[in-house]
Structure 1
Amino acid sequence: MARVYYGNQMSLDGYVADREGRFDWAMPGEDVHSAINDDVRGVGTFLLGRRMWEVLRAWDVMDIDGEPEVIGDFAAIWRSADKVVFSRTLDEDELADAPRTRLARRFDVDEVRGLAASADRDLSIGGPELAAQALAAGLVDEVALWTYPVVVGGGTPAFAIGADDAPGRLDLELVETRRYDGGVVGLRYRPRG
């Protein structure tokens, strides 16, 4: 059975993007990037919301010549994994140039549970709304957050708590903390229960 993992970078006040959708304050240094790479190295399938996929799809075509090793490492991880994009608005033809990517119209808990049960590599949840659904369904085995020393005052929360299909409360057990360059703190949790 595969591990189901949700990892994200966030501001100290809990946002993955500010009110304008920017996340330039969360550009990881090499130490954070390396830690993220290590977390997703075993991922065979990325489960992504449309917006998260639109950000990450650049890794399919990015020229990595001359880039730091951590950039090439993540590109290799991304390119070798399957991707499932959950979107009600994306057209199939928008995926035509996206290798190893398929479209799903809705997040089906039973389908994802079956995928995790039969997979020999991990699944990574990408995007706060999708993560909220997976957390509410009890699918997530581990949550990893890289908290940046910045307060953005609003935007996209790291957890879509309060959405119709999101958990109202989720108790987590802290299993690891780590300090990174620039005051970034890594936090790793497992759901209780």
Structure 2
Amino acid sequence: MAKLIYATNMSLDGYIEDERGAFDWFPVDDEVFAVHTELLRSAGTFLYGRRLYEAMSVWETDPALAALSDLMGGFATAWRAASKVVYSTTLDKVSTADTRLERSFDPDRVRDLKATATSDLIVGGANLAAQAFQAGLVDECQLFVLPVVVGGGKPGLPTGMRVDLELLDERRFRNGVVRLRYRTVGQ
């Protein structure tokens, strides 16, 4: 059975966006970017909420972005290679290939996806990930913790629930980012 991996960038104080909804405090770094690309390549399906999907779809809809460097081209290729499921009640249509629009998160459908997938699934977006955590579907977290405290905003991890984790791996990057990889316990 494939794993459902929650992957996100977050500030040291646990936020994926600051109070203005911005995430422009992410330190650009080729080493971290390459690890993100490796993670994308390992997955066959991405589960996204509307906002994250719209932000990420440029990797398919803007060919100039991929042409900027080999690293960016590799990321774009990895992003385009995966199937996408977008959960939104407000999005009218999707703008990328191999993308399905769902109006609501259905845990049973995600369980079926995990059971039949030949490679892992990545869930992105804190709200969608919280629903997956609540349903006991998240098998692993990959948290890229950034060396900044933003003081408030959108939490990167679910609130109001407990999830026990076991540390599998950690990696420290030269720019101060730390990737923490956890397995969920007792889900």
Q: Does 1:42 align with 2:28?
A: no
2:170 alignment partner AA: T
TM-score by length of structure 2 reads 0.94
Q: Does 1:179 align with 2:177?
A: no
Partner of 1:126: 124
Distance 1:65 1:74, change over 3 A: closer
Partner of 1:153: 151
Residue 188 of structure 1: SS of its match in structure 2?
Answer: strand
Distance 1:132 1:86, change over 3 A: same
TM-score by length of structure 1 reads 0.91
Q: CA deviation at 1:74?
A: 1.0
Residue 175 of structure 2: SS of its match in structure 1?
Answer: helix
1:192 alignment partner AA: V
Measure, in 2, the Cα distance between the counterparts of 1:46 and 1:24.
23
Structure 2 unpaired stretches of 5+: none
Q: CA deviation at 1:107?
A: 0.5
Residue 21 of structure 1: SS of its match in structure 2?
Answer: coil
Partner of 1:69: 70
Q: Deviations over 1:81-104 (max 9, x none)?
A: 111110111113xx1x32111110
- Percent identical: 49
Q: Does 1:91 align with 2:84?
A: no
Measure, in 2, the Cα distance between the counterparts of 1:71 and 1:148.
20
Measure, in 2, the Cα distance between the counterparts of 1:54 and 1:17.
16
Residue 182 of structure 1: SS of its match in structure 2?
Answer: coil
Residue 108 of structure 2: SS of its match in structure 1?
Answer: helix
Q: CA deviation at 1:28?
A: 3.5
Measure, in 1, the Cα distance between the counterparts of 2:45 and 2:67.
27
Measure, in 2, the Cα distance between the counterparts of 1:178 and 1:160.
23
Partner of 2:32: 32
Measure, in 2, the Cα distance between the counterparts of 1:105 and 1:64.
29
Q: CA deviation at 1:57?
A: 0.8
Residue 71 of structure 1: SS of its match in structure 2?
Answer: helix
2:108 alignment partner AA: D
Measure, in 1, the Cα distance between the counterparts of 2:104 and 2:66.
37
- For these two proteins, the number of residue pairs brought into alignment is 185
Partner of 1:7: 7
Structure 1 unpaired stretches of 5+: 163-167
Q: Deviations over 1:68-126 (max 9, x none)?
A: 3221111001111111110111113xx1x321111101110000000110111211101
Partner of 2:82: 81
Partner of 2:162: 169
1:53 alignment partner AA: Y
Q: CA deviation at 1:43?
A: 1.2
Q: Deviations over 1:29-66 (max 9, x none)?
A: 11111111112212111100011111101111231465
Distance 1:109 1:60, change over 3 A: same
